[in-house]
Amino acid sequence: MPCQLLSSRRGNELQRNGGAQIAISGRGTAPLVVGNALREAPAAAGVLCSAGARGCVRSNEIVGAGKAGVRVCEGSSTAVEYNGVRGGGECGISLSSGATSRVAANDVSRNRKAGVLVWGGETRPLLCRNTVHDGEQAGIYLYAAARGVLLRNEVYANAGAGVLITEGAQPLLPESMAWL
């Protein structure tokens, strides 16, 4: 079945909900989430993709999530592309627990923790052409045996390392650009 469109021509505005602004969960679930404004999720992620979900989160403005702006976990492979993700209480984009997403062309800024966080041995995303800047910690942080490929990302003006790799993480960084 093709992806469902969750936005109208003008997009949806979601704000101040008790859980994630949009939660996508379960194998066979594959929505297309496009052109929405997601604001002020004080205790949760802006978008949560879990339990093997697929689909695409594209061209959304995700601002002020209490947790990650976008969290992909539990074997999900949701594509995350062309989003503005900023002002999160934790990281901008979090990939864990076997996520294999393509994360491309996002502008990630002004988050309290890493701009993009990748962790866990089965986690193998492709991070390409993202701009990660002005964060309060590392721009991109990979740990706990995470893998994945970082390709042509621009990472600058973060308070911590541009790209921080620890605890057995083994990413491939063929063409990333990290400026101090």
Question: What CATH number did the domain enclosing 140 receive?
Answer: 2.160.20.10
pLDDT at residue number 7: 42
The 10s digit of each residue's pLDDT in 129-170 is: 999 999 999 999 999 999 999 999 999 999 999 999 999 999
Asked if the structure places residue 124 within a domain, the reply is: yes
CA torsion 155→116→56→173, rounded to 10°?
60
Q: What is the pTM of this model?
A: 0.92
- CA 140, CA 163: separation in Å to the nearest integer? 5
- How many structural domains does the chain have? 1
Range of the domain at 70: 13-178
How is 8-73 classified by DSSP, letter by letter? -TT--EEES-SS-SEEEESTT---EEES-EEEEETTS-SEEEETT---EEES-EEEEESS-SEEE-
In a domain, 111, yes or no: yes
Does any domain span residue 100?
yes
Report the DSSP beta bridge partners of residue 49: 24, 72
With beta carbons less than 8 A apart as the criterion, state whether 98 and 121 touch.
no
Three-state DSSP class for residue 88: coil
Q: Is 87 domain-assigned?
A: yes
Residue 175 pLDDT grade (very low, low, confident, very high; cuts 50, 70, 90): low
